Amino acid sequence: KSEVYHIFTEWVVDRQSAEFVCSVSSIQIHAIGHARFSYVTFAKDSCLNASKVVMPILHHQQVLSSVGVCLKITYGDLEPKKMIEWFEYTRHMGTTKVFTYYAEVTPQVYKVLQYYQSIGFLEMLPIQPAVTEDGERNRFRRPRFEQQAWVDEVMAANDCKYRMAKYDFIIIMDMDEFIVPKGNMNSYFDILQ
């Protein structure tokens, strides 16, 4: 049976952020076989009664001495020069990989994202804003439904921490944030270890 691990309940919004956990006993693992646990799904009552909509579980090999950065959702008319400055500083600080969802970006912003994806530094996925009960699509850009935007960022951060689980450390930040080390520390890894 699944249990609610975390659900953001401060606001009632069109798309809610929640995490669920399914416990699997050692008896079930032995009966089914460890190698058979390769998909995750949404089930009403039993985690073993899989529905037709299944998603593969990604088993990543641990990356040693590594730092992943979660950007949550990149959207809007950002300044490409400032984006490049942030990406290059983040690379200089020894970040292994950056992950972000993106939506409603300008062609210039998308070009910067594509470049960092092409060199293997950025992993990105598109995301659509939530749809209201009236069928109207919310927006990430202003004017936007602020409460939905905050919940969407919680969802993106939660998803990112699982996607980046192979890294030793994960930093959740925005593109206007720079962590500056003190003393003999030269990288994010130095700061966090």
Q: Quick one: pLDDT band at residue 104, thresholds 50, 70, 90?
A: confident
| DSSP tag of 187 | S
Look at residue 139 in the predicted model and tell me its pLDDT.
66
With bands split at pLDDT 50, 70 and 90, how would you rate the model's confidence at 64?
confident
Distance CA 13, CA 131 (A): 10
- Angle at alpha carbon of residue 38, lines to 32 and 43, rounded to 5°: 80
Domain ranges in the chain are: 2-56, 63-192
pLDDT, mean of residues 154-177: 89
Residue 179 DSSP symbol:
-
**pLDDT number for residue 127:** 85
Spatial separation of the C-alpha atoms in residues 168 and 84, rounded to whole Å: 25
How many residues are listed for the chain in this entry? 193
- Tell me how far apart the alpha carbons of residues 62 and 40 are, in angstroms, rounded to a whole number: 21
Convert the pLDDT of each residue in 10-50 to its tens digit. 655 555 656 666 666 667 666 666 555 555 554 444 555 55
Separation between Cα atoms, residue 12 and residue 18, nearest integer Å = 12
